[in-house]
A = this chain, B = another copy of it.
Amino acid sequence: MKFAKIPMATINRLSIYMRTLQDLLEEEMDVISSERLAKQCGVNPAQIRKDLAYFGEFGVRGVGYRVSDLINQIKEILGLNRNWNLAMVGLGNLGSAMIRHGNFIKHGYIFTSAFDVDPQKVGKRLPNGLIINHVDELEEIVKEREAHIGIIATPASAAQSVANQLVLGGINGILNFAPVQIQVPDCCHVENVDFTIKLDCIAYHLSSGG
């Protein structure tokens, strides 16, 4: 099953299901049907079952899914039953905010290095204890600290060059906040986050009366 090509959208949804299930677990719910879960996630129940079916059978017919089991299964599927080391590049408003934000650690994402070009910032210690390094040292330090994922929170103009450095440092996953399309070799997976695109999308809906 793991060899079928899985839709990207499915992976995204699995992450959402997991988040919701974790909330349900805190509310001491131990079994849930696809119908109830679907409602809470804003999707179709069959969608959930199909998404899960790519990877196996996790439910009990006539009963539903055991919440804690399903969480673990999805973690297994997504590769979240371990920690991932993050390298943050660019400590402007956004980069700093993310490092201060506690939510990542909670989900097993750990910042093990941080970089900037600003001499004012290099050498400073961040709230989480990390010392900011100069981007010139990126390749070396990223290797040394075994970073798995690079986060680009630099201005657009620097993004491609940073991406190149990250790839040289052996990184195969990049979360890109810069509003440009970066080019990387096939071995590297890029996810883009662009707030203004989302705002544009809202603007469209507002102005076309939808």
Chain A interfacial positions (CB closer than 8 Å to B): 2, 8, 11-12, 14-16, 18-20, 23, 40-42, 77-80, 84, 92-94, 96-98, 100-101, 103-104, 107, 109, 148-149, 156, 172-175, 179-181, 183, 189, 191, 193-208, 210
Contacts and interface: CB of A to CB of B under 8 A. Distances in A.
B173 A79 contact: no
Contacts of A77: 204
A40 B200 CA distance: 20
A196 B42 contact: no
B97 A206 contact: no
A172 to B, nearest CB: 6
19 contacts: A15-B196, A15-B200, A16-B181, A19-B180, A19-B194, A40-B181, A79-B208, A84-B206, A93-B101, A94-B98, A96-B97, A103-B179, A149-B199, A149-B203, A172-B206, A175-B195, A175-B202, A189-B205, A191-B202
Count of chain copies: 2
Chain A interface mostly: helix
A66 B93 CA distance: 35
B42 A199 contact: no
A189 B204 CA distance: 10
Given A191-B202, A206-B189, A207-B79, A196 B103 contact: yes
Contact of A84 (B180, B197, B199, B208): B199
A183 B148 CA distance: 35
Nearest to A5: B210
A203 B83 CA distance: 10
Contacts of A98: 93-94, 195
